[in-house]
Structure 1
């Protein structure tokens, strides 16, 4: 029996100042901004950008074509998806079939949420276990499957978070 064993760990990563990484992790070909934290058992794939002051908790998976803004929180077990199985099955590594995901600044994503390829504006909270299937263009709190707006955030909350 032959086994192909690949060890990744941390390879070809651009780190900002004062980044904390708790191993074991798989980080490769990505960029992590100043003052960010990466917890254990996290995988961040090539081409991903993580902004400044972000916190990525354990067991989260951030696939290629994801961009996360500044001051974001990704809770435990969050999954990002870039393959929508558009042809009835997995893309089989064909990156031309993948789609991108963009999170703005001050976005918090609750534990075990799943984000399909979407764009999320600044100042959004995604509830635990939510499945985000559509772009989010209005600041607020979203939850459910599919995720829906529960309530808007007060302007004072958005304004004070912007000035941090």
Structure 2
């Protein structure tokens, strides 16, 4: 490896480590007040329109891939993988340790794994997720959806209602309730 390429690689690695430390150690600390945490996320490129992000949020990937709507609440210990865009709407409530994953490993016909591919996740307005919900790559969750604690969302949740289980499925529709 040439000296110029090595310096460039080291600079990129140092930048990523610094950003990761700023986002996950400093902003994720319970010693940092919410308004300052909000400013750090915005300064790192995330489109965060709500200061209601509690300590312990872990971000992996590019912060510019995160959009968080006004009035949304992110509880403690959540994890957002930002290999692809993650869009979370207005007035959502994300329970403790909600996990949003965007990377997907495709396999070849021979059964070997390829490089990861990012698939975007879209969460609509007024969505509530219980504790330890996992949302997998490529999923879209409609407005006014409730996802029960511990559910694993493997496919779209296209209509308002309550989704539960592994994999999550609609257990009660609220489409006509509004």
Partner of 1:16: none
Aligned partner of 1:102 among 104, 113, 122: 122
Question: Partner of 2:106: helix, strand, or coil?
Answer: coil
Question: Partner of 2:143: helix, strand, or coil?
Answer: coil
| 1:137 matched to 2:140 | no
TM-align CA RMSD: 2.8
| 1:84 matched to 2:92 | no
Distance change in 2, residues 1:89/1:83 (3 Å):
farther
Partner of 1:127: 148
Partner of 2:45: 29
1:57 shift after superposition: 0.7
Alignment of 1:34-113 (within 5 A): 34=50, 36-44=51-59, 45-46=62-63, 47-64=65-82, 65-87=85-107, 89=113, 91=115, 97-113=117-133
After TM superposition, the runs of 4+ consecutive aligned structure 1 residues lying more than 6 A away are none
1:89 shift after superposition: 4.5
TM-score, length-normalised on structure 2? 0.69
Distance change in 2, residues 1:114/1:21 (3 Å):
farther
Task: Name the structure where helix makes up a greater proportion of residues.
Answer: 2
Say whether the 8 Å CA contact 2:160–2:175 is kept in structure 1: no
Structure 1: distance between partners of 2:130 and 2:158: 18
Aligned partner of 1:150 among 130, 153, 171: 171
Structure 1, unaligned runs of 5 or more: 12-18, 160-164
1:51 shift after superposition: 0.2
Query: Which is worse superposed, 119-128 or 36-45?
Result: 36-45
Structure 1: distance between partners of 2:151 and 2:101: 13
Higher Rg of the two aligned structures: 2
Aligned partner of 2:22 among 5, 9, 20: 9
Question: Partner of 1:29: helix, strand, or coil?
Answer: coil
